Structure 1
Amino acid sequence: MVFGFGKPRHAEIGATELAALLDDGKAMVVDVREADEFAAGHIPGAVNMPLSTFQATRLPDAGGKKLVLNCLGGKRSAMALDKCAVAQAAVDTHLAGGFNAWASAGLPIKR
């Protein structure tokens, strides 16, 4: 919540909801973890754009799909969303609980 206005700063999507969007070809995931974390396991089809070098202007063209950011637990993806807001990029959603939530839900992991 920001200053008690009752609206979360960033939209969040749950792991099972994201999985359904991915299955329907309606979402694209950008993982903002570092390359070694990404290589150890990530959401299938995700694009790696580490927060350490993240630039909202370099986000991939999602071709009309919903762009969803993720990290390990949600903190870094929220930081990346802040950068997107500053750059006025049309991205406002991240995975609630991050990759940990995805893995805990038993969803597929690409290694």
Structure 2
Amino acid sequence: MKTEKIDGATLDTWTPEEVKAALDAREIVLIDVRTPQEYMFEHIEGALLFPMAFFDARALPGQEGKRIVLHCGSGVRSEKMAKVALEAGADRIAHMEGGFGGWKQAKLPYVGTEMSTGAPKRMG
């Protein structure tokens, strides 16, 4: 995990493997900031969808029991939204390095689309 201080707040950057371990241990809330279409085509099982287009940092859940980790396709949008959350008053937030692409590159499991039927299918 990489940590960066921004105006007294903390932005953490987690690897896909760190996110997977914390998700399995139920230590985090993973929030996908991609579009609904991207999410429907393939997503990390258990990730909540809060698209960047509708992102309101004030609506994020508290982090008393679980940390929040944001992710997108490559890490660019999630880092941007994490910084928005810090500007809105969050004292600490995280995002996933490399985004969903990094997750797939690490060969971690996800829910994709079975192209022959259009049905969801566990992949990875």
User: In proportion to residue count, which structure has more strand?
Assistant: 2
- Aligned mates of 2:99, 2:45 — CA distance in 1: 14
Report whether the alignment pairs 1:21 with 2:7: no
How many Å apart are 1:63 and its aligned residue? 5.8
- CA shift in 2, pair 1:40/1:60, >3 Å: farther
> Which structure 1 residue ranges, 5 or more long, are not aligned?
1-6
Could you tell me how far 1:60 is from its partner in structure 2? 3.3
Residue in structure 1 matched with residue 87 of structure 2 by the alignment: 86
Q: Which runs of 5+ in 2 are unaligned?
A: 113-124
TM-score, normalising length from structure 1?
Answer: 0.85
Equivalent position of 2:45 in the other structure: 44
Which amino acid in 1 is paired with 2:73?
A: L
Q: How many residues align?
A: 105
If the length of structure 2 is used for normalisation, what is the TM-score? Answer: 0.77
Equivalent AA in structure 2 for residue 55 of structure 1: D
> Which residue identity does 1:85 align to in structure 2?
L
Provide the aligned C-alpha RMSD in A: 1.7
Q: Please state how far the C-alpha of 1:110 moved relative to its aligned partner.
A: 1.9
Deviations 1:50-98 (A, max 9, x none): 1011000111355611110000001100110121011112442100000
Q: Which residue in the other structure is 2:106 paired with? A: 105
Give the % identical residues: 33
Q: Secondary structure at the match of 1:42?
A: coil
Question: Partners of 1:69 and 1:17 in 2: how far apart?
Answer: 13
Structure ranking higher on relative contact order (CA contacts 8 Å, 6+ apart): 1
1:59 match: 60
1:92 match: secondary structure? strand
Structure ID, larger Rg: 2
